[in-house]
């Protein structure tokens, strides 16, 4: 699956709308320290459903909204859109191009997720990308410090890394969800049987 474009407005250091087009080759982003290079990968992870404020290098989620600078006032909303080329149908959709958007308002209004400009739930975004290998915890994004933590990881944590790379973890997640559903169904059957035996 190919990420064609990232559009950001009001996200971290990007007060004005910034559009980054990726070509089918290696793209390098260069710039002085603190100019916002890592903010681009933060933006990508944020749209993919990142909920950990710490991993987005903030203290509250609204820290991702442009907070103002010497010559610019703060803004009230952050919006980032990822545009994927889906001609190879890596994402579970019949559309050739898929836009995934996340918005957050400073006034505490609920966060919004959109797929092709239609409001959806976070779960819909996670489900859409689960099979593509691009989840927020996937190894398609390696942040600064990741390499040393892989090298220093405990054997069981390293196994989880290999499972993620091999694509096993999504099946584990689905198995856990199915087992939880089975457990709830079993409880419902027990409850129904209790009621039935009271009625008999």
- Binding region for ATP: 32-39
Minimum Å gap between C-beta 59 and ligand ATP is: 11
Q: Give yes or no for residue 36 binding ligand ATP (CB under 6 A).
A: yes
- By beta-carbon proximity to ligand ATP, the closer residue of 13 and 132 is 13
Return the range that interacts with ligand ATP (CB under 6 A); candidates 59-67, 101-109, 159-167, 174-182: 59-67
Task: Give the count of residues interacting with ligand ATP (CB under 6 A).
Answer: 14
The residue (of 20 and 120) whose beta carbon lies closer to ligand ATP is 20
The minimum distance between CB 144 and ligand ATP, in angstroms, equals 7
Residue 112 and residue 150: Cα distance in Å, rounded?
33
Which position among 63, 157, 187, 190 is part of the footprint of ligand ATP (CB under 6 A)?
A: 63
Residue with tokens 């952050």: 78
CB 49: neighbour CB atoms within 10 A?
19
Site for ligand ATP in 102-161 (CB under 6 A): none
Question: Cα(44)–Cα(48) distance, rounded to whole angstroms?
Answer: 6
Distances (CA, A) of 118 to 31, 125, 163, 164, 187: 35, 11, 33, 30, 36
Distance CA 152, CA 28 (A): 28
In whole angstroms, the minimum distance from the beta carbon of 12 to ligand ATP comes to 4
The residue range among 63-71, 92-100, 130-138, 160-168 that interacts with ligand ATP, by the rule CB under 6 A, is 63-71
- Element (DSSP H or E) covering residue 149: helix 146-152
The footprint of ligand ATP on residues 6-25 (CB under 6 A) is 12-13
**Rounded CA separation 162/46 (Å):** 24
- Smallest CA-to-CA distance from 113 within 131, 99, 130 is with 99
Can you give the binding site for ligand ATP, defined by CB under 6 A? 12-13, 31, 33-39, 63, 65-67
């Amino acid at each position: 699956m190919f990420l064609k474009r990232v559009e950001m407005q009001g996200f971290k250091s990007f007060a004005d709308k910034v559009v980054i087009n990726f070509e089918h080759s290696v793209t390098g982003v260069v710039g002085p320290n603190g100019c916002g290079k890592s903010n681009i990968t933060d933006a990508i992870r944020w749209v993919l459903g990142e909920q950990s404020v710490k991993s987005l290098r903030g203290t509250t989620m609204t820290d991702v909204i442009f907070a103002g600078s010497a010559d610019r006032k703060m803004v009230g909303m952050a919006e980032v859109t990822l545009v994927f080329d889906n001609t190879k149908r890596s994402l579970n959709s019949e559309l050739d191009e898929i836009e995934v958007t996340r918005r957050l308002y400073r006034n505490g209004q609920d966060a919004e997720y959109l797929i092709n400009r239609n409001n959806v739930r976070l779960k819909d975004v996670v489900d859409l990308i689960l099979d593509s290998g691009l989840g927020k915890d996937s190894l398609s994004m390696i942040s600064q410090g990741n390499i040393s933590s892989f090298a220093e990881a405990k054997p069981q944590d390293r196994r989880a890394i290999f499972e993620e790379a091999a694509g096993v973890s999504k099946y584990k997640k689905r198995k856990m969800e199915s087992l939880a559903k089975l457990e709830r169904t079993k409880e419902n059957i027990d409850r129904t049987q209790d009621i039935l035996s009271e009625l008999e």
